[in-house]
Amino acid sequence: MNTRAVLLVDDFEDGLDMYQEYLSYRGYHVIVARNGEEAVAQARLHRPDVILLDISMPVMTGTDAMRVLRADPSFTHVPIIALTAHALDGERQILLAAGFDELIPKPCLPDQLVYALERIFAALPKAPDDSAPALFWSKKGMVACATHAPAAGSPAWIAQGWQRVPPSQRAVGVAMQCQFCHGRPYVRSQPSATVGK
């Protein structure tokens, strides 16, 4: 049985009820919200495995809710999917550029929604080791823990080019630690340009 938690956010009650019932039937644990503000609160409370956000909603839009959640480092690896009727190619590019991981056009049949979720879950990288603290690095090679890195989305975060250290980089055998906690800087080597002859 599927134990994944899905936060389903839509202000259209009939669609919300239909998708919630079908996803529950298929074994998903479904949490619902009816606007972006509720979505942020429910996401922080329940920590879902994926978030499906309608775009046009009252109180707070889906795009605004996604931006609030993306600013929280604990949602870095949570797929946030636009569930929207705004699925033309140009609109799709705008939503992906805004920070959504994927777009599922609606209306869609419930089994199409489940198929899309299964595809998204299958594409996720293997979960990082939870015993290892989250580390972030800047364009200049500074490494910091969540306590010492600038707040995600803040002007310092953006200007200094901070991003989460990918699990694949942590697994290469190099001891990587927060330079502020441990007092020794780790400088990320910059990729060297190779010239073919």
Give the tens place of pLDDT for each residue, 112-138. 888 888 888 787 765 545 455 677 777
Please tell me whether residues 112 and 142 are part of one structural domain: no
pTM of the model: 0.62
Mean pLDDT of 69-95: 80
Q: How far apart are the first and last CA of the chain?
A: 56
Q: What pLDDT is stored for residue 193 in this prediction? A: 46
Strand-strand pairing, 80-84 and 102-105: parallel
Domain that holds residue 61: 5-123
Q: How many domains does the chain have?
A: 2
Same domain, 27 and 108: yes
Q: Is the dihedral of CA 60, 63, 69, 71 positive or negative?
A: negative
Q: Are residues 94 and 142 in the same domain?
A: no
Surface-to-core class of residue 140, CB atoms within 10 Å of its CB (0-12 exposed, 13-18 middle, 19+ buried): exposed
- Percentage of the chain beyond pLDDT 70 is 79
pLDDT of residue 4: 85
- pLDDT grade for 32, boundaries at 50, 70 and 90: very high
The helix, strand and coil proportions of the chain, stated in percent and rounded to the nearest 5, come to 35, 15, 45
Q: Which of 163, 156, 158 minimizes the C-alpha distance to 141?
A: 163
Query: Residue 143, CB half-sphere, CA atoms under 13 Å: how many?
Result: 22
Domain assignment of residue 24, yes or no: yes
Q: Which residues pair with 164 in a beta bridge?
A: 136
Are 64 and 144 members of one domain? no
Q: Do 146 and 174 sit in the same domain of this protein?
A: yes
Instruction: Verify that 36 and 70 share a domain, yes or no.
Output: yes
CATH number at residue 61: 3.40.50.2300
- Give just the sign of the alpha carbon dihedral 46, 47, 52, 56: positive
